Structure formats: C-alpha cells, structure tokens
A and B are shown apart, each in its own frame.
Chain A
Amino acid sequence: QAGGAMAIFSVYVVNKAGGLIYQLDHYAPRSDTEKTFSFPLDLVLRPRDERVVVAFGQRDGIRVGHAVLAINGAEVNGRLTADGKDVLEFLSNPANYPVSIRFGRHRLSSNEKLMLASMFHSLFAIGSQLSPEVGSSGIEMLETDTFKLHCFQTLTGIKFVVLADPRQAGIDALLRKIYEIYSDFALKNPFYSLEMPIRCELFDQNLKLALEVAEKAGPFGPGS
C-alpha cells in the first residue's frame, strides 16, 4: 500500500483469563530486504532470543534489529539454517560465499503472541488500578510512532485488540463490528467451545471482510 493509505495490522482476541483465543496478522509493512554478500560479511550479526539479528551496520534497507529470515532463499529456523546448521557458523565459513541473505522484522511466534496477549491483559488491569479517578477503564488506546493499539473490553470481559496505522479512522466502529462477528460466527457455532481458541472459517472470512471494509471506507455506518 502506498504512503498515505491506511492499514490495519493485526487483531487479537483475549478471553477473560488473559488467554489469547484468536490472532490474525492482516497486513505487515514490507521491510524485507534481500542482498547477496561476499566474504567477509560487512554487517555485525548477533544471536538474540532464538534469532540472529543485525547488531551494527545499516545500509541498503537493512537495519539494526532486523533478523536473518532466509539464506539462499530458504527460510531459517530461529538460529539454524533450513538444513539444521548454525546460522552464524555457516556465515563465518568463506566457502559458503557468495551468499544471499534476506533480512526483515522477525515474525512473532505463536508463543510470543500468547505471552504478549497475557502481558497486555495485566497491563490493562494495571491501567485501571493506577488511575487517579474511580471507575476508570483499563487501557483503551496505546500510541506509538508507528502504530496505535486499540482495545475494547466487553461487559463480560473479552478483549478485542486492533493494531492499526496511527492515522486509521473508524476503529471504534470496527471493534464493535468484530464483537458482533464474534457473537455470530464463534458463539453461535455449536461446535465452538467457550474460552477456547477460535478456529472457525466463517469467523475468519467475516473478520477479514470487516477489516478490508474498515481500511477502505474508514468509519462504519450505524448498525452495519
């Protein structure tokens, strides 16, 4: 999407115990860069949290903090190459050059998403506890320079969380819409168990549709 276009990055649904029951990555800004290197590598790579990341040296769209995503077209598996060799060892061997490496923002693993969701659950609660006013809600919006996190908690305690471009409008209506989609396509599915991860094709489809509509049109009309 071109500059100025709006985007919704992802959606999280958290149950009242803080468990992540649904997650969708809708749109990820493309930051991947692929480049062919000759020996020696002119970037400093370091292992960090089961990944290999750029620690120093920033050029051609490759930035500090980017992770090694693929080597010679094959996706890496954490700190190991596709065929099970240590990435750093592989890259320190001149015999393996020239080598093509793809760098980018590392993708959150399902485990990391689970952890972040339950962290936000607590943060939301802390927000309402710290408040100087009585009857304060938890965190409804969290703003950064690259995205805004919007959270809507239902009276029954389910949280719908949407991460979007800071300029994206109509998120409140979108959150209500997602609640409706949840009450229709998850809860009315007799084979869906409450509080459990939502694996419903119809829920997926309708949610994606709602996100696309929200991106194009901005605010929803009433009752839509």
Chain B
Amino acid sequence: MSRQAGRGTESKKMNSELFTLTYGALVTQLCKDYENDEDVNKQLDKILFLVCSHRGYNIGVRLIEDFLARSNVGRCHDFRETADVIAKIAFKMYLGITPSITNWSPGGDEFSLILENNPLVDFVELPDNHSSLIYSNLLCGVLRGALEMVQMAVDVKFVQDTLKGDSVTEIRMKFIRRIEDNLPAGEE
C-alpha cells in the first residue's frame, strides 16, 4: 500500500506484502468461520461497507474521508469523472496500481475497471473447494461504502477474476442513483 501524501512532510509508504499477507490471513480465517463461500463474500464486502448503523468499524466510510482530506478532489458531477478519480487517484494512492477503464455502457452509467497486478492476490492460488469465493470482494465493499458517503449509490461486483482462470480481473460498476436524502446543504 503506498500513499502519496502522508502526514508531515514525508510520505508514508508501507510494504504491500504486509497488507496482502494480513488480508490473506483474514480471508482464510473467514473461510474457517463460515460454512460457505457466499457468507465469506458477504463478510468481506461488509468490512469495508457501511452497515445501516453509523457505528462500528467499517473501513470504506472512513477511507473516503482520508481520501478527500488528502487528495483535494472536488465533487464529481458525472460518472465518467468518478471513474477517473477512482482509477487514477484512489487506486494509485491506496494500492499503487492504476486500473484501466473500459466497457462503458451506452447510457454512461456502467463501466469496468480492469485490474492488472491486483496486490491482494500476489501469492494466491484458489483451491477447488473455494470455487465461489470472490477473494478480493473487499474492494467492492470499499468502493460501495466510499461512494455512498459522497451520495452515490453504486452496484459493484467482480465479473472476471484471474484467480478463476479469466484472462483479466474486471470489476463492474453500475450507477444506481444519487442519494438525495443525505446530501449536505449547499451541495445540490
């Protein structure tokens, strides 16, 4: 995980292996705790997503503040802008990679992120008995949780995964609606 602008003047970088290994330990522990892969997928998604209550430790809703505080990114008024910010700034900042943006739907409300070198799967070989495990599902949670905090309801899911023999890893993002009821004053 590298982060460009750290606190103070120096930037604070972290060896990504510590992160990927910690994440691996988390996934294997969840696989032990839950009977089927579906539940593991759900938990991974939830860790980074805002669950109804505003309590608890969900990283996505906290990460968005960190991102906004450091990046000076303004409000996006178009889903294309959002795609750019996610791929070129946010992924770069937190994972050190820049996914490419492709497969725009004609309506401009859906696109795909193609991930090369997903650091989460650096050392992973998915065993046969975990065929429905979406190993990196955590990323869906973070994207959904973070975007919800800036008033965008978005559907996020893995549609291709190199761990499952696909040629690329593809995250599909679909804009559902603007969340008007938690829009801060002066932001409409």
Contact = CB atoms under 8 A, between A and B. Distances in A.
Interface of A: 16, 124-125, 127-129, 135-138, 153-158, 176, 179-180, 182-184, 187-188, 190, 193-196, 223-224
A156 to B, nearest CB: 5
Interface string B172-188: 00000000001111111
B7 A184 contact: yes
B66 A156 contact: no
Nearest to B58: A194
B7 A128 contact: no
B55 A193 contact: yes
B70 interface: yes
Contacts of B61: 194
A201 B187 CA distance: 32
A129 B75 CA distance: 19
A158 B150 CA distance: 11
A187 B65 CA distance: 8
B5 interface: yes
A224 B8 contact: yes
Contacts of A182: 65, 69
A125 B186 contact: yes
Interface residues of B, number: 28
Contacts of B68: 154-156, 179, 183
B187 A127 contact: no
B32 interface: no
B182 A223 contact: no
Contacts of B55: 193-196
Given A154-B65, A155-B68, A193-B56, 13 more contacts: A16-B182, A154-B68, A155-B74, A155-B75, A156-B68, A180-B7, A180-B70, A184-B7, A187-B66, A188-B62, A193-B54, A195-B55, A224-B8
A154 B9 CA distance: 23
A42 B18 CA distance: 73
Given A193-B54, A193-B56, A180 B184 contact: no
B34 interface: no
Given A156-B150, A180-B69, A182-B65, A136 B186 contact: yes
A224 B5 CA distance: 9
27 contacts: A124-B185, A124-B186, A127-B186, A137-B186, A137-B187, A153-B184, A153-B185, A154-B65, A155-B74, A156-B64, A156-B149, A157-B184, A176-B69, A179-B68, A179-B69, A182-B65, A182-B69, A183-B62, A188-B66, A190-B57, A193-B54, A193-B55, A194-B54, A194-B62, A196-B55, A223-B5, A223-B9
Contact of B65 (A127, A135, A153, A183): A183
Q: Of A155, A179, A187, which is in contact with the most chain B CB atoms at under 10 Å from its CB?
A: A155
B4 to A, nearest CB: 9
Contact of A138 (B5, B54, B185): B185
Nearest to A188: B62
Interface in B38-76: 54-57, 61-62, 64-66, 68-70, 72, 74-75
Contacts of B187: 137, 153, 155, 157
B150 A155 contact: yes
A211 to B, nearest CB: 16
B66 A16 contact: no
A190 B62 CA distance: 10
B62 A224 contact: no
A16 B50 CA distance: 16
Contact of B69 (A16, A129, A183, A193): A183
A30 B141 CA distance: 51
Contacts of B184: 16, 153, 155-157
Nearest to B5: A223
A102 B75 CA distance: 51
A196 B70 CA distance: 23
